[in-house]
Amino acid sequence: MKKLLFVSVSLSVFTVTSLSVSAQLKFLSFKDMNRYAEETISKSSILHNVNLQNVYYAASKISNNLLAPSNMATELCNTIQFRYAQILNRDVENLTNLSLFNFIDEWWATKYRYGGTSKKGVDCSSFTGKLMQEVFGFTMPRTARMQYAICTKLQKDNMLEGDLVFFNTTGGVSHVGVYLGDGYFVHSSCSRGVTISNLNETYYSKKFIAGGRPNITEYLAAETL
């Protein structure tokens, strides 16, 4: 009986501790992750040739791994994870970037408004700019064309979660969203507001231009012009 009581108490302590650590990890600053990745690269003789434009993606990966619920019981995953796992047709355990999906959920169904920058109405490039800043710690130019200009262009097969996706909807680069993986992307749609769509949908497959990964070097060059 004493052994059973000890096991029960131990499990309770472990569960509370896990939840406490997980809650603390949610408040880790992405800038701290970015700084950690940059310091790691600078100190490593093996990685000394790594392009710094990939630093923020490395930091994002570190952050995501720390927040990954792969070692937690599925029942500990929050309702937002369950919701977006269904939308993305993905296992709950594979939705590791909690800050990304919390951000999407906060803005979900916000109506589209050209030139809008708030939850009263937001356009596509303002939405991507806010997401990239808040989730990944990267400041983006204001318009879709300017965002496209500072990106390294990517084919669909090479895109990762957090990359941008660009479309020609009204001539040239005129629409942008943020890639979520498996063809899905989040964006501020003219018809549905902030929502998730898929690149394989007929409309978007015809309008798709390219994926884009923000290039720090290109951005800094544009800033000096």
Question: Which of the residue ranges 3-7, 56-60, 129-133 would you say has the lowest mean pLDDT?
Answer: 3-7
How buried is 157 (Cβ within 10 angstroms: 0-12 exposed, 13-18 middle, 19+ buried)?
Answer: exposed
Q: How far lies 18's CA from each of 12, 68, 99, 179, 216, in Å?
A: 10, 12, 18, 30, 36
Decide: 67 and 98 in contact? Cβ < 8 Å: yes
User: Could you give the residue ranges of the DSSP H alpha helices within 140-201?
Assistant: 144-149
Instruction: Pull the structure tokens for residue 125.
Output: 């490039």
Q: Mean pLDDT, to the nearest integer, of 83-108?
A: 95
Whether residue 48 lies in the annotated active site: no
Confidence of residue 54 (pLDDT cuts 50, 70, 90): very low
Decide: 167 and 204 in contact? Cβ < 8 Å: yes
Is the pLDDT assigned to residue 93 strictly greater than 60?
A: yes
For the question of whether the overall pTM of this predicted structure is more than 0.75, the answer is no
Higher local confidence (pLDDT), 56 or 129: 129
Q: How far lies 219's CA from each of 117, 152, 180, in Å?
A: 21, 11, 23
Higher local confidence (pLDDT), 35 or 165: 165
User: Could you give the residue ranges of the DSSP H alpha helices within 88-153?
Assistant: 98-107, 124-136, 144-149
Whether residue 77 lies in the annotated active site: no
Nearest to 176 by CA among 60, 100, 185, 39: 185
Q: How far lies 81's CA from each of 72, 94, 165, 209, 216, in Å?
A: 13, 9, 23, 30, 31
Instruction: Pull the structure tokens for residue 59.
Output: 């930091």
User: To the nearest whole percent, how much of the chain has pLDDT over 70?
Assistant: 62
Beta-carbon contacts of residue 179 (< 8 Å; ≥ 6 apart): 159, 160, 161, 162, 163, 164, 165, 185, 211
Q: What's the CA gap between 13 and 192, in Å, rounded?
A: 45
Nearest to 83 by CA among 109, 47, 50: 109
**Which residue matches tokens 């708030």?**
118
Decide: 165 and 178 in contact? Cβ < 8 Å: yes
Residue range 205-218, pLDDT digits in tens: 999 999 999 997 66
Residue 6 is which amino acid?
Answer: F
In degrees and rounded to multiples of 5, residue 10 shows phi and psi of -60, -45
Instruction: Pull the structure tokens for residue 225.
Output: 């012009």
Catalytic site residue from 77, 151, 175, 190: 175
